[in-house]
Copies of this chain bind each other. A is one copy, B any other.
Amino acid sequence: MSDVSDWWRTDIIDMEPGVIRFRGHAIEDLIGNVSFPQMIWLMTRGALPTEGEARLLEAALVAAVDHGPQAPSIATARMAVTCGLPLNNALANAVNMLGDVHGGAGEQAVELYTAIAEAGGPDHAGAEIDRWQAERTKFIPGFGHRFHKPVDPRAPRLLGLVDEAASEGICSGDFANIGRAIEAELAARKGKPVPMNIDGATAVIYAELGFPAPLARGLFCLSRSVGAVAHAWEQMQQGGRNKGPTPPQYRWTYTGPKEAGE
């Protein structure tokens, strides 16, 4: 059976008294010399990215920080503070919300893009969309938006940066092509635009940069955490105690029996 200190094994961090090394880099060499996105990359990937790769990652991290108090993640962070919770607990509630539906679209989009790439590229978008809908769900992750019509302003901006990076050889551009092929396919099927949204666009970047799908969700969590902290802190300054989702006069609809046994 394993020894105690062998129970948790890691390639990430090495420590002795007075010494902290991440992936073999002494912490004092990283501080002040690498950017926060470079550090995120080093920690999750094992080596430092190029400047160009780090810039692209940075753009994705900047893009997804917040979508307002209507998003369950932000709503719960603000409510949490009115219940007396400090920022760490409010942020935990926000991040916990980023499950398959609210935070998982980026991860799923990377999976879909990867499936199309492995099938041979953009020409296989239609077939892989069919397979996705047969095996997973009718929702194509990363496309369409119930609020931002006609277009989510973050997506074209991010795609433009990918194109730029591809032209400089920072990434291949293959996943941008795949994303656009999905967009074209969905438009043809629906007879109207179903444009790429923030999840679809950040997934293009994460796939271009070689991040495995689950990390796409992890990175989204790091990004959205910024919005959650900002909103929780703003709410803390506003005060307010035990604020539910709506003002007290707007309650829920009761749909059960008036009397037991009815």
A residues engaging B (CB < 8 A)?
A: 1-15, 17-20, 22-28, 30-32, 34-37, 39-40, 43-44, 46-48, 55, 58-59, 61-63, 65-73, 75-76, 78-80, 82-89, 91-93, 95-104, 146-154, 156-158, 161, 214-215, 217-219, 221-222, 225-227, 229-234, 236, 238, 241-262
B9→A252 contact, CB < 8 A: yes
Say whether, besides A65-B43, A161-B31, A252-B70, A89 and B83 are in contact (CB < 8 Å). Answer: no
Give the distance in Å from the alpha carbon of A71 to the alpha carbon of B61 in the complex: 26
B72→A99 contact, CB < 8 A: no
The residues of B that contact A8 with a CB separation of less than 8 Å are 69, 75, 78, 245, 252-253
**A14 (CB) vs chain B CBs: closest residue:** B254
The residues of B that contact A104 with a CB separation of less than 8 Å are 84, 86
Which 10 pairs, one residue from A and one from B, show the smallest C-beta to C-beta distance? Answer: A245-B245, A84-B100, A11-B256, A92-B96, A84-B101, A24-B260, A83-B102, A84-B99, A43-B230, A88-B98
Among B6, B27, B55, B102, which residue has its beta carbon within 8 angstroms of that of A157? B27
A103→B76 contact, CB < 8 A: no
